[in-house]
Structure 1
Amino acid sequence: MQNKSILPENSTQIPVEVSQQATEWYVRLQADDVTEQEITEFQTWLQTSQQHQKAWKCLEQFGLSLDSLKHPLLKQALLSIDQKAPSRNLFPTKSIAYMIMLGGSIVTIIAMQPQQLWQQWQADYKTQIGEQKSIQLADGSQIILNTDTVVNVNYNHKQRQIELIKGEIHLEVVKDPQHRPFSVSNRDGLIQDIGTTFNIRQYDKHTVLTVSEGEVLVTATKSQNKAHVHAEQQVLFNQYQIQNIKAIDLKYSTWKNGMLSVYKMPLNEFLTELNRYSRDQLSYDKSVSKFEVSGVFPLKEYQKVLDSLEQQLPIKVESQFYFWKKITLKEK
């Protein structure tokens, strides 16, 4: 990654990678097994550059603190930058706003426990917002990671297991000469493959499973309720319940090809879906939900899609503040 900042050219400039480094240090130092060597390395990192110190102080302005940790080296490192800083309010609002937009990492930290953050940081494979990645597994199976997705892969002589920590994946599973079972686990349940192609998307409070070919068995984590899902079927489930299975039209499952295909989708739902692939913060008036969208849209052409919507519908897209955009009805 190039050492280039997205902040304005002023004294509060913080390069993107420095903000990410500060985030990673916060995650690691919260872990129960953090070592004295790692704390020493953190202290060295902190003292190497004023930008490192500014990035760390910006994290603290979001309410993130390691004051609860008692290790003397860590307390010494944090105390050293407190003494150097004339004021805790080191950053203007616009600089903090830019920090918020750095992949959503700082905002995510506030909403998550350190253990979850560490789990995501240490994962085998991950994608950034707007990124998609195809991975060929050791047995020839393929997994495609959608935007903002985190997974672990655990292959051994007894099993083939994928752990979906966050986001959405599409899997094409091949038969294993060693006859090892293939499964995907996530927060809400266990999905056992019976020779198939399927898609899993984890939302905040539930998971959606879509089967393209073959059959899978899904088991809810807490209740152990089970359901068989077949080709061209979809089911929503959480840790306790599995809803009724429904038939679907697979031609609208095109994200793995870099496209978003929809038919008569309410505009507000379309905007929410589209925004998954951009670092922009998009808001809209409730009144726009009365419009419907149909078509196939390139996921990597976020701004062009918004421009097209603005031309086709009586709406206007306004850039309000850096990465913030708002969509409203055009005035008559």
Structure 2
Amino acid sequence: MNRSPSAAQREAVREAARWYAQLSSGTVSAEDQASWQRWHDSDPLHRQAWQRMQAVSHSFAGLPGRIAASTLLGSGNSRRQVLYGLAMLLGGGVLGTLGWRSDTRRQWYADYRSGVGERRAVRLVDGSQMLLDTDSAVDVDFDMQQRRVLLHRGQVLITTARDDAARPFRVDTRHGSVLALGTRFTVSVDDHGSEVAVLEKAVEVSVQPIERLRLHAGQRVAFGPAGIGSLRSNDAAVAAWEQGSVIAVDTPLQTLLAQLARYRPGVLNCDPAVAQMKISGAFPITDTELALTALQSAFPLTVQRRTRYWVTVVARP
């Protein structure tokens, strides 16, 4: 999409970059956190800009070398200056001027987005239902021949409606395409690959070169650069996010924390010594602090908080 950010959006990105640098500097006071919260809550543009700043560290890996070098290798740059400069680079029109269209830029201007920790329900023009999971971005392209959803980031749950014109309904990711066959299903995408899980009826997955696989209710499969993986059965964790939970069944602690981290700002990690501890239970995604409290109560673990945005789980002393 080619829309340029408005002056208000640019200013919000500048302010978000300053706050991001401040909160990442390691010298954050309670007054700083309260001031940031007031700024964040005062304007929807502020909230959108802050969500974008959270993607900075992930987006940096994809920056062209010369851009990265000019941002980070300036002599005397402090950590705060580096973060601010990188945030501004991603936030402004510089990338477009240089002719590099990043995934981050496309996601920022997607038709529908959800924030970190948000689940967003959308009714499409044909009556189909789309539920966006946390930190997701999609474009929707309906015309006379097709109904198409392009999933840039995150996860969606689709419930298709009957179409009088019999147009096919597809969900596309960077890794392939999912054709709905009168169905209810989820599709997710990240940097490593995509996955589809069928809740009702069937879908057909296709990747290039031509490779196709039909799935029925209760089945899921991953697909990506290596093609389509092996069929697996759905488990209790599939689509649990629709009901507001992450479900773990003998799940390594580091895997569970990575899932919970998608629903909260900042860093959530664990000490390597407890990374492989097996965890079972249901943990709320609508209140990740409650989830961490439950984790600490049920297992020999302690939650350490350097700040609200830097949390580490360690073994209980």
TM-score normalised by structure 2 residue count: 0.72
CA contact (8 A) 1:192 1:216 kept: yes
Structure 1 or 2, whichever has the larger Rg, is 1
Q: Do 2:51 and 2:116's aligned partners in 1 also have CA atoms closer than 8 Å?
A: no
2:106 equivalent to 1:106: no
Match of 1:167 in 2: 154
Residue 260 of structure 1: how far off its partner (Å): 1.6
Within 1, Cα distance between the matches of 2:70 and 2:289?
A: 30
Within the candidate set 210, 231, 235, 1:245 is matched to 231
Give 1:329's aligned residue: 315
- Cα distance in 1, alignment partners of residues 70 and 117 from structure 2: 25
Aligned-pair CA distance for 1:135: 0.3
The match for 2:102 among 115, 119, 123 is: 115
Which residue, out of 53, 62, 71, partners 1:63? 71
1:224 equivalent in alignment to 2:210? yes
C-alpha distance in structure 2 between counterparts of 1:225 and 1:282, whole Å = 38
Partner of 1:288: 274
Residue 213 of structure 2 aligns to a residue whose secondary structure is strand
Contact 2:197–2:238, Cα closer than 8 Å, also in 1: no
Task: Tell me the matched-pair count.
Answer: 265
Q: How far 1:151 sits from its partner (Å)? A: 0.1
Please give the alpha-carbon distance, in whole angstroms, between the structure 2 residues aligned to 1:23 and 1:247.
34
1:302–1:18 Cα change, 3 Å: closer
What is the aligned partner in structure 1 of residue 201 from structure 2? 214
Cα distance in 2 between the residues matched to 1:20 and 1:62: 26
Matched residue, 1:128:
115
Q: After superposition, where does 1:57-96 map in structure 2 within 5 Å?
A: 63=71, 93=80
Q: CA deviation at 1:256?
A: 1.2
Aligned equivalent of 2:137: 150
Q: Does the CA contact (< 8 Å) of 2:182 and 2:201 recur in 1?
A: yes
Deviations 1:68-113 (A, max 9, x none): xxxxxxxxxxxxxxxxxxx986x774x977x69xxxx939949x96
Runs of at least 5 residues in structure 1 that lack an aligned partner in the other structure = 25-59, 66-86
- 1:249 to partner: Cα distance: 2.5
- Deviation for aligned residue 1:320: 2.1
Deviations 1:226-254 (A, max 9, x none): 11111100101103410111122356421
User: Mapping of 1:33-52 within 5 angstroms?
Assistant: none
- Output one character per residue of 1:12-69: Cα deviation in whole Å (capped at 9) or x when no partner: x885556966998xxxxxxxxxxxxxxxxxxxxxxxxxxxxxxxxxxx999289xxxx
* Structure 2 contact 51–115 (Cα < 8 Å) conserved: no
Deviation at 1:193, TM superposition (A): 0.9
Contact 2:251 2:279 in 1 (8 A): yes
Deviation at 1:326, TM superposition (A): 1.3
- Are the equivalent residues in 2 in contact too, given 1:193–1:216 (CA < 8 A)? yes
Contact 1:61-1:88 within 8 A present in 2 as well: no
Identify the match of residue 275 of structure 1 among 261, 264, 268.
Answer: 261
> AA paired with 2:176?
G
1:317 matched to 2:303: yes
Q: Is 2:127 the partner of 1:140?
A: yes
Task: Note the C-alpha offset of 1:114.
Answer: 3.8
In the aligned structure 2, how far is the partner of 1:215 from the partner of 1:21? 38
Cα distance change on mapping 1:234 and 1:298 into 2, 3 Å: same
| Percent of aligned positions that are identical | 26
**Alpha carbons of structure 1 residues 22 and 179: separation in structure 2 relative to 1, 3 Å:** closer
User: Is the alpha carbon distance of 1:301 and 1:229 closer, same or farther for their aligned partners in structure 2, counting shifts above 3 Å?
Assistant: same
Structure 1 distance, partners of 2:275, 2:104, is: 34
Find the aligned partners of 1:198 and 1:287 in 2 and give their Cα distance: 37
Secondary structure of 1:194's aligned partner: strand
Contact persistence 2:133–2:154 (CA under 8 A): yes
Q: How many Å separate the matches in 1 of 2:287 and 2:46?
A: 28
Moved more, 181-190 or 251-260: 251-260
Aligned-CA RMSD value: 3.7
